Structures are given as structure tokens and as C-alpha cells.
Amino acid sequence: MSEKLSASLEDYLEAIASIAGSSGETHAADIADSLGVSRPSVTVALRALASRGMINYRPYSTVSLTEDGRIRAASVLRKHRIVSRFFSEILGADEELADSAACRVEHAIGEEITDRLVEFLAFIDNCPMAARGGFQYESENRKEFREKAADYGKK
Amino acid sequence: MSEKLSASLEDYLEAIASIAGSSGETHAADIADSLGVSRPSVTVALRALASRGMINYRPYSTVSLTEDGRIRAASVLRKHRIVSRFFSEILGADEELADSAACRVEHAIGEEITDRLVEFLAFIDNCPMAARGGFQYESENRKEFREKAADYGKK
DNA sequence: GACAAAAGTTAGAGAGGGCTAATATTACAG
DNA sequence: CTGTAATATTAGCCCTCTCTAACTTTTGTC
């Protein structure tokens, strides 16, 4: 269905979408800065993305997403947001940790798992016991659950 | 703290641990079969794992995990189990899908996220509304949550 | 104990992703 | 309208991971 893209290329696509924002145009240098990568690496990635129909690209020119590129970037960004949110809001992880883990997990899960996670997040917001404060903040509970957790084979 | 291993090398370690089981010894051919990879690829990987102190390895001989290797393999296997379980039991994904996604996610999350997920799983087992049947099977609820889910920006 | 079959390794190549240094292009200031 | 600074690309190298084909070592059977 949708083109196969490596995690690396998805990261580039994601960066392009984030930078482009409303203007729609991106400079290679911004992509390099945003990803902490050298400019030559960006050039190579742009060629790869262009060959897969994800971006409009011509040498020495600005970059913009194609319709396919927009769709794919939106998919990756959505996965990122959902997963990061799950890690921080539900599991109670530090935002920075949640975000960095989401950066990797976003390439590892498909649409179905993401859809289900979205539904679960909506559900949990309505679950009086499980919502924030339920799991995260009631230390009495947490101690109890930490004991139960042994079943799952900690380290 | 623990050696940096690529996702690929973690997969090899995981396979070795799974195959070795109690006997502790593994043959390269079994690793190749288990991972669906060629034998030469296994040789290369074994050298890399040996150089990182994860396995005991000498050419033309069987392979076993070192203490470090056992620890690391257990960590990866634990992440796999937890994540797969979350995907299938909580999110309600098909076991096969859950497992294949877990194969990738296991390399993308650290110990802290995993610990928190373990606790959450234990917690959810005790949450009358959220436990199985709560989220997965009550279609009335699901419809409602699916509507709420729009907030999270579906596709 | 020799000799095939099985198991493992080496050799060589290619894809993918990254880097620095050098080169080319574009853009803007004078 | 020309030249320099900023930007982008090419060239060449490295590393990881994979493969097939060819070679070596081990194993086990007669």
C-alpha cells in the first residue's frame, strides 16, 4: 500500500513536515540542523525521498512534500504524538524520555496498533481508577502493583 | 552502563537465549534458521557479540552466553513479552501482530519505560473498568471512545 | 581410521546511512 | 553587474548488515 521507508527516511520526512509548517517549503540546512545531521546526508536522503515520490525536489532548490509525503509524514507524526503521550501521561515518564522513546517507537508500530492505542487513550481518560491520579499518583496503589509486577519478570 | 548493541545484535542475542534454553549451548545453524538469515551473517554477528563480551565464541564451536549476555538477552526478552502482552491483551491486537510489533519495539524502549509498563499492566489487571472486557469487549464503550479518539488526530 | 556430509568460515559484493573535504551554485551587497 | 558569503552537491571514505559462492573444519559412519 504505502511505500516502504526506513526509519531514517521517515525521520527526514517528519522533520520536513515539522519545519515546513504552513509555508510548505523547506531548506536543506534546516533539515540538517533539525536532525543533527550533516548537509551531505540530507542531500542523499532527499534524493531517496524524491525517488519514492514523497517530496518535490530539484538540486539547489527548496523542498516540499507531495501529497503522499504529507500523508506519510502525518502518519509518523501522529504515531509520535500518541506514543509520547502514552509514555508521559499514562505511564508517567518524564516528557523528555517519553519523547525520545517515541522517536524510535514511531517507526516500529503500524496503523492498527496506533489506532488501538488512540482508542485506549480515550478510554483511559474515562476510567475513574486508571486516569491520571489513579495509576500515577497514588503511591499506595503503586506499591501494590509493583509487587504484582514481579509476575511479568522484572529484569 | 550496558554495552551498546544494535537492534540486529540484540535480535541475535535474543535468538541465542531462546534456542539455548537450559542446555546453554547453541549451534550457528539454529540461529540462522531462527532468524531467517544466512549462516555467514551469523558468523559475522557472533564475532561482533563476542568482541562485546556477550557470548563465548570460538570458530567451529558452539556458542553460549556470558553473564553479560544473559542479562542483556533477558532484558530484551522481557521487553518483548511485556510489549507483546500490552498490544494483545490490553489493546486487543491479534497475537501475531502484537508479536511482530513487539519484535521492533523491544529495541526502541529502555528499562524505565518497560518498568513503568509492567506496573501499568499490573495496575490495569486490577482496574475493574479497564481490564479485559472493559476496553476490549464492550462495544458500547468502544464506539464512544472511538469518537473521543478524534481528538488525538486520527490519520 | 578414511571419507563423505554437515556445519562453519572466508571472500567479495552491495545496499543503506553517516561523515569530512572539496566543488559548484545561488543570492545578495556594493 | 560582479564578487563573496551562504547554501547545496559531489567525491571519497567508513561502518553495519546482508547476501552468494567457495573453501575449511568437524562429525559420524562404515
Partners of residue A107 in chain B, C-beta under 8 Å: 104, 108
Spatial neighbors of B28 by CB under 8 A, at least 6 apart, are B39, B42, B43, B46, B63
pLDDT in tens, B65-116: 999 999 999 999 999 999 999 999 999 999 999 999 999 999 999 999 999 9
* Domain match, B144 and B87 both: yes
Q: Confidence band (pLDDT; 50, 70, 90) for B23?
A: confident
- State how far the Cα of A75 lies from the Cα of A82, in Å rounded to an integer: 11
Residues of A with Cβ-Cβ distance to B81 under 8 angstroms: 152-153
Look at residue A1 and tell me if it is in a domain. Answer: no
Number of structural domains in chain B: 2
Residue A87's CATH number: 1.10.60.10
Of the partner residues A119, A141, A155, the one whose CB lies closest to the CB of residue B123: A141
Which residues from chain A sit within 8 angstroms of residue B120, using beta carbons?
Answer: 90-91, 135, 145
State the pLDDT at residue A133. 45
What CA–CA distance (Å, rounded) separates B136 from B138? 6
Is the C-beta atom of B43 closer than 7 angstroms to strand C?
yes
Question: What residue has cell string 548493541?
Answer: B5
What's the CA–C1' distance between A154 and D1, in Å? Answer: 73
For chain A, percent of residues with pLDDT exceeding 70: 80
* The three cell numbers locating residue A65: 512534500
Answer for A46: CB within 7 Å of strand D. yes
* Residues B148 and B84 occupy one common structural domain: yes
* Cell 528499562 -> residue: B111
Average pLDDT over chain A, rounded to an integer: 87
Strand locations in chain B (E): 55-56, 64-65
| Cell matching residue B32 | 540462522
Residue B47 lies in a domain: yes
Establish if B65 belongs to a structural domain: yes
Residue A81 sits in the same domain as residue A64: no
| Helix segments in A5-153, DSSP class H | 7-20, 28-35, 39-51, 67-85, 95-105, 111-125, 139-148
Please give the residue range of the domain that contains residue A105.
77-152
pLDDT band at A137 (very low <50, low <70, confident <90, very high): very low
Check residue A80 and give its pLDDT.
Answer: 98
